[in-house]
Amino acid sequence: MFKLCLCIPTMNRAQFIGQTLDSIVPELGTDVEVVIVDGSPDDTTEKVVSKYQEQHAAIRYFRRTNGSDGPSNAGFDRDCNWAVELAQADYCWLMTDDDLLKPGAVRQVVARLDEGHDLLVVACEIRDENLHEILLRARPVLAGDVVFRPSQWEQFFSAAITHLTFVGAVVIRRSVWASRNPAAFFGSGFVHVGMIFSSPMQQSVLMLAQPLVVIRYGNAQWCDRAFKIFMYDWPQLVWSFPGIPDAAKRAVTPREPWRVWRVLMLQRAYGRYSIDEYRRHLHKNLSLAARIVPRIIAFTPRLLLYVPARVYGHFRHFDSRLFVRVLNSALHQSHRAAAPQRDDQILP
């Protein structure tokens, strides 16, 4: 029996998973294993992983045989759960397929497992897509490690919920996962968050202040579905959690954020909201009078929203530097998309 299993659901990431495994392999010992569940329709990832398996028996690889047309929430949730089911360890670290572990990360986590916590939440360092520039040295920013008792469940929710959108922050006792119903959260895109907050932990939760994971920011496979995810799927999940006061949930997201014009303006500035999203999601859910403002926002040039969005991000967003980075990146991408392209043009 292992102490810790790094559970990696993957899909079409053959060009990244080798670098991820390079950061994990030096951390492997007799008490740590790796389980990879591949939802890719081809065997490219398997070829990459097999080279590591030849040298490390603790790396186990499983591939879905029915294939898939592309990344989806249901695929991630299902494969994440399957990786935990296949684990032979007391704890599971839910790792991503394109991010990196920092040196010594596994040993630091393993050293804390004997303290008896049901859940460990790992801080992260955020870098750009190429891992060259550090965008945030630590997320969340903590003065030191924090322990939350079962009686402090609401405080833990408020402290951790936003950070937990990143799956690689989660180290959970496998028996806790097995005692809950993962199928209830398939398709949410956040099965790990649902499994944590479906009911309070019986034992304590530890939040680690030192960043142990490097996030490759901007490489997500869900970007084309971001509006639906954060306007519908995420709020529905957050507001479904029992035992959390409405005020705490509202501080994370409105119950129906797509009805709030300020939220729509930010989504428009991000590049997540356009007339396509309006027609697909809002038109059918709003009365004739209520459609006017969302439709106007959908046609508003994003450049006009840049300054108001910057002001909001500076004063209201919990990660203001990262907010500005995303805003600038979205604006830059919109300019590139608007420019005429030739077949031989190579974009920087």
Q: Could you tell me if 313 and 168 lie in one domain?
A: no
- Tell me, yes or no, whether 73 lies in a domain: yes
Burial of 109-130, coded b for 16+ CB within 10 Å and e otherwise, reads bbeebeeebbbbbbbbbbbbee
Q: What is the largest CA-CA distance in the chain?
A: 64
Q: Could you tell me if 50 and 158 lie in one domain?
A: yes
Q: Could you tell me if 246 and 171 lie in one domain?
A: no
Q: Could you tell me if 314 and 330 lie in one domain?
A: yes
Q: What is the mean pLDDT of the chain?
A: 87
109-123 tens-digit pLDDT: 999 999 999 999 999
Domain range holding 246? 223-338
- Tell me, yes or no, whether 139 lies in a domain: yes
Where among 216, 251, 281 does a domain terminate? 216
Overall number of domains in the chain: 2
Q: Could you tell me if 267 and 177 lie in one domain?
A: no
Where among 177, 201, 216 does a domain terminate? 216
Q: Could you tell me if 8 and 83 lie in one domain?
A: yes
- Tell me, yes or no, whether 153 lies in a domain: yes
Average pLDDT over residues 205-234: 87
- Tell me, yes or no, whether 344 lies in a domain: no
Q: Could you tell me if 188 and 297 lie in one domain?
A: no
CA 250: distance to chain centroid?
Answer: 20
- Tell me, yes or no, whether 187 lies in a domain: yes
247-301 tens-digit pLDDT: 999 999 999 999 999 899 888 988 889 999 999 999 988 999 999 999 999 999 9
Q: Could you tell me if 179 and 132 lie in one domain?
A: yes
Q: Could you tell me if 35 and 75 lie in one domain?
A: yes
For the entire predicted model, the pTM comes to: 0.88
Q: How far apart are CA 238 and CA 246, in angstroms?
A: 10
Average pLDDT over residues 215-234: 82
Q: How far apart are CA 268 and CA 220, in angstroms?
A: 19
32-81 tens-digit pLDDT: 999 999 988 778 999 999 999 998 999 999 987 665 555 555 688 999 99
Q: Could you tell me if 83 and 144 lie in one domain?
A: yes
Q: What share of the chain is helix, strand, coil (3-state, %, to 5)?
A: 50, 20, 30
Q: Is the pLDDT of residue 340 over 50?
A: no
Q: Could you tell me if 191 and 87 lie in one domain?
A: yes
Q: How far apart are CA 96 and CA 7, in angstroms?
A: 8
Where among 180, 199, 216 does a domain terminate? 216
- Tell me, yes or no, whether 347 lies in a domain: no
Q: Is the pLDDT of residue 95 over 60?
A: yes
Sign of the alpha-carbon torsion through 10, 12, 16, 18: positive
130-177 tens-digit pLDDT: 999 888 889 999 999 999 999 999 999 999 999 999 999 999 999 999
Percent of the chain past pLDDT 90, that is, above it, reads 68
Beta strands in the chain (DSSP E): 2-10, 32-38, 59-63, 89-94, 100-101, 119-127, 134-139, 146-148, 170-173, 205-216
Q: What is the CATH number of the domain that holds 184?
A: 3.90.550.10
208 within 8 A of 140, measured Cβ to Cβ = no
pLDDT of 215 reads 93
- Tell me, yes or no, whether 201 lies in a domain: yes
Backbone φ, ψ for residue 116 (5° rounding): 90, 15
Average pLDDT over residues 183-190: 92
User: Which among 68, 69, 63 is positioned nearest to 82, based on CA atoms?
Assistant: 63
Percent of the chain past pLDDT 70, that is, above it, reads 85
Point out which residues pair with 93 in neighbouring strands. 6, 171
pLDDT of 72 reads 52
Q: Could you tell me if 44 and 168 lie in one domain?
A: yes
- Tell me, yes or no, whether 343 lies in a domain: no
